[in-house]
Chain A
Amino acid sequence: MTREAKAPSPLAAALRRLEEIVRALESEETDLDQALALFEEGVGLLKDARSRVEVADLRVQRVLEDAAGDLKVSDLDA
């Protein structure tokens, strides 16, 4: 059975990059210019990640196969 690895979600990628940035910022080797650029990147990533987590209300949909074999999706009140 082949198990293809899916591309990581944007959120997972953002969090991984954030950890990297924080570690770099906390290290003595980063110079100020670099640190500033990393900080800006980090702030952007955080903003994006927050917006992904804080989005709207849960959407629940029912999936059916119609007579023609097509997928039909309809909202479900649950």
Chain B
Amino acid sequence: MNPRALDSAWTVAEVVGALKTAVESCLGQIWVKGEVTELKVYQSGHWYFTLRDADAQIRCVMWKTYAQRLKARPVDGTEVYLLARPSLWEERADLRLSAVSLLPTSGVGLQQLALERTREALTRDGLFDAARKRSLPPFPRSVVVITSLEGAALHDMTNVARRRWPALRLYVIGSAVQGEQAEPELLRALALVNRMEVDVCILGRGGGSREDLGAFNLESVCRAIAAVRVPVIAAIGHETDVSFADLVADLRAPTPSAAMELAVPDRRELLDRMAALSSRLAGGLSRRTRLLRERLYRAEDRLRHRMEGRVAADRERVGRLGAQLDALSPLRVLGRGYAVPRGGDGRVLRRREEFARGLGFSLRVSDGDVNARVESA
């Protein structure tokens, strides 16, 4: 390097500029292993921290663009691999590593940490609460499905809907369910649902590897699910590996087809139920009229019975009176051999002095009159 003369001395900026060029070109982008400490996240979203090992340390920066791609912020002391290039901040000639990516050396550890944080946040805000869960409408008119358009899931769900409830309007919103695009596309799809008139939303993973539930464990996606205005059925995880999205949804299904079965009633079952109602309806009316007819018959019978009873009683009474009359009849007495004497004027003669000698009178016997005359008194 040319030691210039005094009149052409370097300015500070020139020195720093030259150093910057040297620093930034000497190594390029490299992986550096170290421990993260003193991590600060500024309002701007940029991360500032120190990376160190037993022998040295260096200041690091990770700009917001890169920082927000990470699932979680490492806690102090986390050992990481940092993908970075050395850089120099000219104003202060500060040397630091400008990081674009960060991987914890125990990758699982950091992922676990992210999950725990999400779980905490969602629990705190009550998104897992059972009280939040909405029940499904018994007869949905329309269902919207968010799923991958490529997988077999959509086909399966359509078949179930066609078989069980063809009166349905089925809307489909395609979305990536794994990979980089999954989060933005799921968020867009869930927001779309809130602009539609639908009764139920099904979130089905469909396709993709069974292991990658990543997008469905994101806080942003879970919050978007909770914000959907209609009940959401999630068919994302499986028996052993449930995603947070499954837990935030109103209902969880083991597969997309099972989700559709939960969402729509079975037409045949309903038609059976209606047939039963129909026969009960007809049966109810005919039973009603039969009861009424029976009541009429019973009333008629009672009436007839009463009338007949009445006539018989009258007849009996007449007979009895007749017998009484008969017993009292004087003719009856005459029948026993008595006779009634009566004078010319028809008067009954009851005493001796009424029978003067020579008096003509008549004798009433049982079968007629006999003329008689008193011979001696």
Contacts and interface: CB of A to CB of B under 8 A. Distances in A.
B285 A58 contact: no
A69 B174 CA distance: 16
Interface size bracket, A side: 35 or more
Contacts of A15: 273-274, 277
Contact of B281 (A9, A11, A42): A42
Interface stretch (B3-11, B97-105, B163-171, B317-325): B163-171
Given A9-B141, A56-B166, A50 B274 contact: yes
B270 interface: yes
Given A32-B292, A53-B271, A56-B167, A78 B154 contact: yes
Interface string B143-178: 010000100001100100110011111111110000
Contacts of B278: 46
Nearest to B140: A9
Interface string A42-73: 11001001101111111111111100000101
Interface string B277-289: 1101111110111
B304 to A, nearest CB: 23
Contacts of B287: 25-26
Contact of B170 (A28, A52, A58, A71): A58
Contact of A12 (B138, B155, B280, B284): B138
Contact of A32 (B140, B169, B271, B288): B288
Contacts of A65: 188, 192
Contacts, number: 120
Nearest to B282: A39
A20 B196 CA distance: 34
A17 B167 CA distance: 21
A63 B171 contact: yes
Nearest to B271: A53
A72 to B, nearest CB: 11
A36 B284 CA distance: 10
Nearest to A25: B284
Nearest to B173: A63
Contacts of B192: 63, 65, 71
B332 interface: no
A31 to B, nearest CB: 9
B158 A60 contact: yes
Given A46-B274, A61-B171, A30 B288 contact: yes
A75 to B, nearest CB: 11
A57 B267 CA distance: 12
A57 B159 CA distance: 12
17 contacts: A3-B134, A15-B274, A21-B281, A25-B280, A25-B281, A25-B287, A46-B278, A53-B167, A53-B271, A54-B271, A58-B158, A58-B165, A58-B168, A62-B173, A64-B173, A71-B196, A78-B155
Q: Which 7 A-B pairs have the closest CB atoms?
A: A25-B284, A78-B158, A58-B162, A35-B288, A11-B139, A39-B285, A42-B281
